[in-house]
Chains A and B, each alone.
Chain A
Amino acid sequence: MTGLPPGAPGATASQMPADPDVGADVLLQVDNLVKYFPIKSGGIMSRHVGDVKAVDGVSLSLRRGQTLGLVGETGCGKSTLARCIAGLLPITSGKVTFEDKDITNLSRRAMQPFRREIQMIFQDPYGSLNPRLRVGSIIGEPFIIHRTATGSERKRAVQELMQRVGLNPEHYNRFPAEFSGGQRQRIGVARALALRPKLIICDEPVSALDVSIQAQILNLLADLQDDFGLTYLFIAHDLEVVRHVSNEVMVMYLGKAAELGPKDDVYERSHHPYTRALLSAAPAADPESAAARQRIILSGEVPSPINPPAGCRFHPRCPRAQDICGQEIPPLEVKAGDPPAHLTACHFPVPAGEDLVGAVRAQGRRPR
């Protein structure tokens, strides 16, 4: 890629490093994506005084028709990663490949064809719809921007979309304020669907909704995936939601991937202590099982992404941490006995079937 500006037509698959994961069915490939937000001192002569390391070297690949769930607590870089992939934020370093084409930091004009392929559904059903536009204009906007349908044709297309996502097409002329949260999110889904994208990035699409409405939206997304062969990058902090919708799951902590693998592997046989802690913290619907299980309560706070800990980013809070954890960054790799798709970034992975709490007790350290 030397000498080629990012996004130049020549920068295609032939120049990509050979990667066994890159196959015909890989829709989206992200290599070592880094996003730093510079911190500048105030004043006229602003100096660069540091970076918020929001995403620090994340790689993932997403196959056509699959759903990758992205979980992690607030501030771990999930949404930043999504916006980098969607081309809404410039990337500090790394590479995003969509259908074997490099789309890293394309200009707005060069990105335009890919906007039709990659769409986003946003978290806030109130904030993501312009309050001054009628629903017809909101859902019709992609057609206007990409000049794919005009006049009565556009109106018909919009009303078909409204019907498809379960909205009354008669409400074409209403304003967003006249809809409930769930209906508004359906408007957002219809807008994302308008250009028939291949990839939809769902940035916490249900976390602002009631639980009963969540189920409706999730079912709608699942139906649409079947009908249109959509691929989802699904971000959430609700572990049960992610488990319900995903084929694969990636757990992020402080800008890095902690664990990545097929859904059941990550949920049933996770190795990373952070994944274990996260899973144990999820509320359970069944009170008996909730009473039976042990919660792992981590000590301390999430460190600042401006100055993240050296080595493994989780080590200051990790009950299994040893000296090496503060020095060497653990690689994201396959641990013994795992399928090749299950990757863990930990020096001392919790063996499958073993309890993190038990293991910690055996070591004589008590998790707080």
Chain B
Amino acid sequence: MRRAPWRLAAVGIVIAAACTQDVTAPGACPTFCPSAVLTVIDTVLAGAIIHDSAFGRPIGFVNPYNATSLLAANLPGVRDSRPIFRTARITTRMSISTTDTTTGAVTGVDSLYLRFTITRRDTATHNLRLSVFSLPITIDSTTALPDLAGSFAGTPVRTINIDTLVALPGRKNTVTGDSAVVDSINNRVTVLLSLDSSQAPFSLADSGQLAFGFRVDADAQPTIALGAFEAGLGPGITWFLKVDSLGVVAHRSQTPTTAFDSFVFTPAALPLDSTLAVGGVPSARSLLRVLFPRSLISDSSLLTRATLELIPALNPTGIAADSFGLVASAIVADFGAKTPLDLTHVDTTIIHVGVYDTVRVDITRILRYWAADTLAPTAIELFQVPEGADFAEIRFRPSADSTHRPRLRLTYSPHYPFGRP
């Protein structure tokens, strides 16, 4: 009997080891397969979009003054856009001692650096030149390009050839003091432009506030984007100042924040009409209310593909470099123009400027979400990415257009007839 525990243990091990199964076999169909098979239906629901609206003009969801990019373009007859910015005031008294808090008055300026970052440029843009113009410090979000015609008509403070500067050894011009830093990972070029006191005079009355504007030129496709304050890459200056230190001149520096940046352009964006506008500047969005076919898609796992088909009302406006992403997003609640987006359920496609074709957005994720959450509002908001950083816009035919309305194309599987051999 002393061996009995080992025998019992062996039996237990055999039982435990045997507790697995593999019953999957290639089907010898139809003879030895379940009589029912999974079927897949592909159908177009022409009436699935029941209401729609476009929002975003004249005030856009993103406007030039709160965009993440400052657009510069010089395409005669097509578009003229110029970034502008204004610096914040500086403190007019600065510390002159390292041991106490004694301050001295700012009396003048030695020099300053103007800093800006090119975040996007067309690969066809060559011999890229930027001209910097001094602008009145009264510029704000209501300023338009015609308001600055006089300032831009004058002589630029500086004109710099970006390609030449980047090609210099060390990317530094030892004569002018200009330099560039190239971020090849993010495809950015940050330029430090050296100005003297005559090009950027210090005004005590203005507390050192300055405003500048940029005009871009190139041999071809003069269109670029500068980083904006909203992206943490806004243009700015660094002052090298003279400070009165008990009759002796002390040298101090200040880097004020960007008080305002924007871009002014012509022609102005077209107003909204009955079509579904998406993109442009100011940026527009369109809201599509969907009659979700819950009778067909009662469970999210039944849906294998869903495509929103949109027919453009006009050829997408812009230049080839303006191709942009079109995002279809679920929403949290339908509040019209103020609809909050559900950015955890989005689908995207690319709109190619110059191509006129039906736009198809795969919205499988959104419709699966609707099938799973029956309380979710069945509406889709269309918007552009990056929003407000691209002049291109597209306009689609609305649901009121009975022949070219937006459509929903579904590929789904009807319920499998479980409970039958």
A-B interaction: no
Name A's B-contacting residues (CB within 8 A): none
